[in-house]
Amino acid sequence: MDSLISAAARALAAGDPLGALKRVALREDPPALALRGIAMAQLGEHARARELLRRAGNAFGSHESLSRARCVVAEAEVALAERDFAGSPRALEAALATLEAHQDIPNAIQARLIAARRLLLLGRLPAAAGALAPLAGQALAPPTAALAGLLNAELKLRSLQPAAAGADLDAARAAAQSAGIPALLAEVEETAARMSRPAARRIRPHAEQVLRVDEVAALLQSPALVVDGCRRTLGAGGVRIPLARRPVLFALARALAEAWPGEAPRERLIEQAFRTRSPDETHRARLRVEIGRLRALVKGLARIDAGALGFSLRPLDGGEVALLAPPLEGDQAELLALLADGAAWSTSALALALDASQRTVQRALAELEAGGRVRSIGRARAQRWLAPPLAGFTTILLLPAALALE
């Protein structure tokens, strides 16, 4: 490696892409192409960065597998910044295996962090935890340690473990300060600020209360029977019953929780569950069937009593019922939560993260665009979607999360 390549690599490691470009901007050899690609990525020119990295990877010969693996890792990181999940993760897995076989530990760790970040964005929390697990206890360089701490904190926040997330953020902050990279430190502080913002609302009979993430976690671990409108679950203590794929039953549970400690009228339940204000006997018969299904699900936690006007939810321990509502209501809340990170998402990436069809996502985006809440850039395959940041609250509880209970 010549002196200019070494100097450019050091500049990139210190977060100085312009300094790196000054040394390799006019060179066309594979190492210089790779460094130029990384510099362009740091400057936000993602399309150009991917082109340069692909050229560099192709230019390295078949006997230079280590260098090609490094290019694959760098291109995967740029794809992540572009929210492009179309590619198979197998290429990154193969690159990781090559890096580990050649004992290139720093780049192997970077590959693991990229894989974990991808899984986090897609809401695959158990898989993300598995990707990060091999890094636990390792002595990492300050920039890498800061990134690992950030990802671990994000994982804990999404898993509603705020105390553990705070400890990871403290470690990430110390590492970022040691690294001396302002952008990294700013990302740590932004993640820390999310913990103090409202994350959900607790709906009471005549008022509502905003809750932080730690307060939500405490409520979910309390003896109260909680109907969680953020994660679409119902439960008490450590028991959770998933209702995300049973929208009618969740609508009934929410309406019953809204009416607690009183009865929810049958007309209200029918309106909430079946989206009609003109019920007939068929709706009433269907309501009895769905209430029976909900009774079977909550058996052991609560009972559902029938009254003259409707139904009421009664915890078996005589405790209270709590209704958690997201800070942002509407059918497109999860979609807006994903777009609130400020990155430009493709329709396919949004569909993958939300576990929905592209057609469903396209319809939702069209509605949001008509209301001026999102905008698109580019066309056809290059089309991406953006939304302004959602100020005043955090979207942690609206982001997709494939928890073990689901």
Q: What angle do CA 122, 84, 361 make, to 5 degrees?
A: 65
Identify the H or E element spanning 321. strand 321-325
C-alpha count within 13 angstroms, C-beta hemisphere, residue 203 = 19
Q: Are residues 54 and 8 in the same domain?
A: yes
In this structure, the answer to whether residues 50 and 159 fall within a common structural domain is: yes
> Are 213 and 230 contacting, i.e. CB atoms less than 8 angstroms apart?
no
Exposure string of 316-335, with b = 16+ CB inside 10 Å and e = fewer, is eeeeebbbbbbbbeeebbbb
Distance CA(337)–CA(217), nearest Å, equals 19
| 99 and 192 both lie in a single domain | yes
- Measured between alpha carbons, how far is 213 from 159 in angstroms, rounded to an integer? 10
Contact 175, 142 (CB under 8 A): yes
Nearest to 297 by CA among 281, 309, 313: 313
CB of 160 within 8 A of CB of 190? Answer: no
Separation of alpha carbons 42 and 63, rounded Å: 29
Query: Is 130 inside a domain boundary?
Result: yes
189 CB-side CA count, 13 A: 8
Residues 44 and 180 both lie in one domain: yes
As for how many domains the chain has, the answer is: 3
Contact 131, 116 (CB under 8 A): yes
Looking at the structure, tell me whether residues 312 and 252 fall in a common domain.
Answer: yes
Instruction: State the CB neighbour count (10 A cutoff) for residue 30.
Output: 19
In the block, residue with structure tokens 């009664």? 314
Q: Print the domain residue range for 150.
A: 3-196
Whether residues 178 and 239 fall in one domain: no
345-357 pLDDT per residue, tens:
888 888 888 888 8
Residue 104 has what pLDDT? 93
For residue 117, CA distances in Å to 37, 80, 92, 131, 154 come to 20, 8, 13, 9, 9
Q: Is residue 240 in a domain?
A: yes
Residue 200 contacts residue 216 (beta carbons within 8 Å): yes
Helix (H) / strand (E) containing 38: helix 30-42
404 domain-assigned: no
Cross-strand pairs, 324: 202, 228
Q: Are 233 and 243 in contact (CB under 8 A)?
A: yes
Contacts of residue 289, Cβ cutoff 8 Å, sequence gap at least 6? none
pLDDT of residue 401: 67
Q: Are residues 32 and 168 in the same domain?
A: yes
Structural domain ending residue among the three candidates 305, 325, 345: 325
**Rounded to the nearest 5 degrees, what angle is found at the Cα of 36, between the Cα atoms of 33 and 40?**
140
Q: Which residues of the chain have pLDDT under 50?
A: 402-406
Residues 137 and 51 in one domain: yes
CATH of the domain at 279: 1.10.10.10
